[in-house]
Amino acid sequence: MRKSDFESIVKSQPGLTAKGFMSPLSPDYGRARQDFMNSAHYLQHTIDAMSVLVRFKPTVLMTKWQKENCTPLNLRGLIEWHCGRTVSIGAIIVAALALGFRVEYSPQGEACFNIFARQLEGELRDFRVRELIKQAVGH
């Protein structure tokens, strides 16, 4: 992903910052938005997120399961585990949009994506097993 592609996607999403969507009326919005647009490490976060999300296929319709489970917050741990680095919520949203996923909102107001459920369920299950093993051995 080029910087210009990143900027174009961010500009097309009013309120998008590194922390996700934020009200433009928030006193911290201007600074958060500018930091997200100009900081190179958020571009790297997006590239990292794309390297994981590219494995998934989008669906045509958005299901209740997707609205509850296909959120950037739920995907963050999985993406960070695969990349070995932290990734911002906003970068996950940009990555999903760049890969052709649709962003909608859950009833709780969280962003969510139309990721094929069976693929994601398998990945999340494997990730949870790895996390349990990691906790059991004390790492």
Q: What is the pLDDT of residues 8-40, one digit of tens each?
A: 999 999 899 999 999 889 999 999 999 999 999
Per-residue pLDDT band at 110 (split at 50, 70, 90): confident
Higher-pLDDT residue of 93, 74: 93
Q: How many whole angstroms separate alpha carbon 89 and alpha carbon 123?
A: 19
Residues linked to residue 20 through DSSP beta bridges, in sequence order: 17
Specify the pLDDT at position 139. Answer: 64
Q: Is the pLDDT of residue 48 over 90?
A: yes
Q: How many domains does the chain divide into?
A: 1
On whether the CB atoms of residues 107 and 67 are closer than 8 A, the answer is: yes
Look up the domain containing 73 and give its range. 3-137
According to DSSP, the β-strands at 103-105 and 111-113 are antiparallel
Percent of the chain with pLDDT over 70: 96
Query: What's residue 94's pLDDT?
Result: 97
Q: What is the pLDDT of residue 93?
A: 96
